[in-house]
Structure 1
Amino acid sequence: MSGRGLELSGVAVRLGLTQVVDGVSLSVPPNTFLAVVGPNGVGKTSLVKAVAGLVRAAGEIRFDGTMLAGLSPEARARRLAYLPQRAEAAWALPVRDAVALGRLPHGDPFGRPTAADAEAVQRALDRLDLSGFAARPVTALSGGERARVMLARVLATEARLILADEPTAALDPAQQLGVLDLLRGLGEAGHVVVAVLHDLTLAARFAHRVAVMQAGRIVAEGPPGEVFTDRLLADVFGLACTFVEIDGRRVPVPQRRL
C-alpha cells in the first residue's frame, strides 16, 4: 500500500462557545499506529471526530493528498472507518450481520453481499476471535465481546484510515493487549491507525508514535520513547512515573500523582 497518509493543517473545532481543538497541525505517514493521549477534556475525541467528519472543523484534513471534506459521504466511508467510544448495537442482529454492516459503503445497501464482502467479514471475525459467535445475537454478548464486534465491523470496511476512540475501554487486560497488537499490525501493514488511548503504558508499548494533547493543542508528538519524559508526564498528566523496558521499549508506569 502507498500514499501520503493523514495530514492535518490548522484544524480547529468549536463546540458552542468553547474552542476544544485549537489549530492542530499533524502528519501521520502510512504504516503508522498513532496514539492520541492527554488528560480528560483536552480535545482528543473532538479531534478524531473532526477527521471522521462528524463535527464541523476549520482548517484542512487530507488523506493521501485528498481533502476529506470534499468527498461524498459514501466515498469518505470507503476511505476511513471510525469506532466511537462505547459503540453499541441497538438490535439483536447476529454477530456476522452486525460485522457485515461495515461493507455498506462498498455496494448497494439493498443488494446481495458479494463474495468479496463475505471474505472481508470472515477475515474481521477471525482477527477478533469472533468466528465462534457469528450466529449469536450481539445483544446476548458481554460488554467486552460487543466491543470486539464493533471493532470487527470497522475492520470489515477495509478502509486504509482507521480511527478509534478508546478501543480498549470495555476489554479485559488480555483483550486489550490483543486489540492493540492488532492495531499496531494494521499500521505495519500499510494502514494509518489513529486511536485515543488513556493508558500511557499501553500507548508506549504498542503505538509507533504518540501525540500528546493539552488544552486543545498538540504539545508533543513523536516516538513514545522520546515523547514520554519525566518533565512532560509531570507537566501534562501530573504524574510521577518509573520506566521499565518491555520488548525493547522504554515504557512509563505511573507511580503517584504530583
Structure 2
Amino acid sequence: MVDSHCHLDSPGLAERLPEVLARAKAAGIGRMVTISTRVRRFETYRHLSEAHPEILFTVGTHPHQAGEEPDVTAGEIVALSRHPRCVGIGEAGLDYHYDYAPRDVQRNVFRTHIAAARESGLPLVIHAREADEDMAAILTEEMASGPFRAVLHCFSSGRRLAEVGVELGLFVSFSGIVTFRNSDEIRAIAKAVPRERLLVETDAPYLAPVPHRGRPNEPAFVADTARVLAETVGLSADDLARLTTDNFYRLFDKAAAHR
C-alpha cells in the first residue's frame, strides 16, 4: 500500500523516524509521500527522500504558511519540482477555519501552485477546509483556463465540493476521519466517489484513525483507514489496497520510476 500524504518532518515523527518506517514496512506500506508545507523547507524533504528509498516528496506552501511565502513564483516551484524524487506540487489551498494567512493571500498563493502544477505536469495536492464555495469557484475557473491534475486531500468538506472535484477530473483522498464515529457524511461521500478516483492517506502525525485515537498518527496506520474505506465502498481490504495503490501511481505517475 501507499500512504499518499504524511508529514515525516513533523515533531512526533521526525525524532523517531527509524521505528516509524519499520512499523510502516511491517504493516505493508511500501511507499509514502512526505508533503511540503513550506517551499523554504525543500532541502529537508529532499534529504528525507534521498536517505530513505520508500519516501517520496512534494514541494509547495500550505495555506497556513501562505503569508510567509507570498512571493514564491510558479517558476521557482517548477524548478525545484524537477528533482527526480519530487512527485507533486503542494500542499496548497484554502483554510478558512484558522485563517492563519489572509484569505486573499491564500487565494493568490493557491493560484500560483495551480500554475506550477499546470506547467510541471505534476499533480497538485489540495488542502481545503471550510472554504468550499471559494475552492469550487477557483478550481472551476482555473480548469477552464488550462487543465491540471490534482487531489482533494484529507477530504472533510461538503458533498458539493467532492462532486465538483470529480466533475473536473480530480482525485479524492480520505484520511482517518473516515473511521470516526460521527463521520457518516464523509463515509457517504466516499461511497459516491468513483472508485478510480479514490486515494487513502494518514496526514500523519494528525488524525490518527480508530483504534489509534489520541496517539500521533503514522504511515503504518493507513492500513486501518483503508479497512474502513474498503467496508464503506464495498470492497475487500486487499482489493481496496490494490485499487488505491494503482490510483496513486496513475495520479502521481512520476513515482512509477521508484515503484
* TM-score interval, normalised by the smaller of the two chains: 0.3 to 0.5
Considering fraction of residues, name the structure with more helix. Answer: 2
Considering fraction of residues, name the structure with more strand. Answer: 1
Q: Relative contact order, CA 8 A, sep 6+: which one is greater?
A: 1
TM-score under structure 2 length normalisation: 0.38
